[in-house]
Amino acid sequence: MEKVEVEQFGGGGNGAVVRMPGRRFPGVVVQGDSLFALREEVAEIRAACARGDLDEATDCAGFLLADLDGMLTAYEAELTRHGIPLPYPARKPPADA
């Protein structure tokens, strides 16, 4: 194990926005239990698709998208707050917004 110093931009624990040494842009810390939960959501979508249950797959995908959107929104807010440009094109608002 190597100990390194990172820059923390906001948040703490799960969803903390940090920049690792040598990286231009920050990333997001995802705790192991949250990573597992995201993986389980994808597995549920896959299983629903395999059963042909598109309603269930769509519902599960909606929950996953909401989780990821929450993380991404927090990430974007921290970068904006610190004057760092996004490392990707700005997202378009959802059609239903």
Three-state SS for 36-83 is HHHHHHHHHHHHHHHHCCHHHHHHHHHHHHHHHHHHHHHHHHHHHHCC
The average pLDDT across 41-70 equals 96
Task: Name the band, by pLDDT with cuts 50, 70 and 90, for residue 85.
Answer: very high
Q: Is the pLDDT confidence value at 96 over 70?
A: no
pLDDT recorded at residue 97: 52
Output Rg (C-alpha) for the chain, integer angstroms.
Answer: 16
Q: Where are the domains of the chain?
A: 7-81
Mean pLDDT, range 68-82, rounded to an integer: 93
pTM: 0.85
pLDDT at 95: 63
* DSSP 8-state assignment for residue 17: E
Residue 91, both tokens = 């997202």
* Share above pLDDT 90 across residues of the chain, in percent, rounded to a whole number: 84
pLDDT at residue 78 above 80?
yes
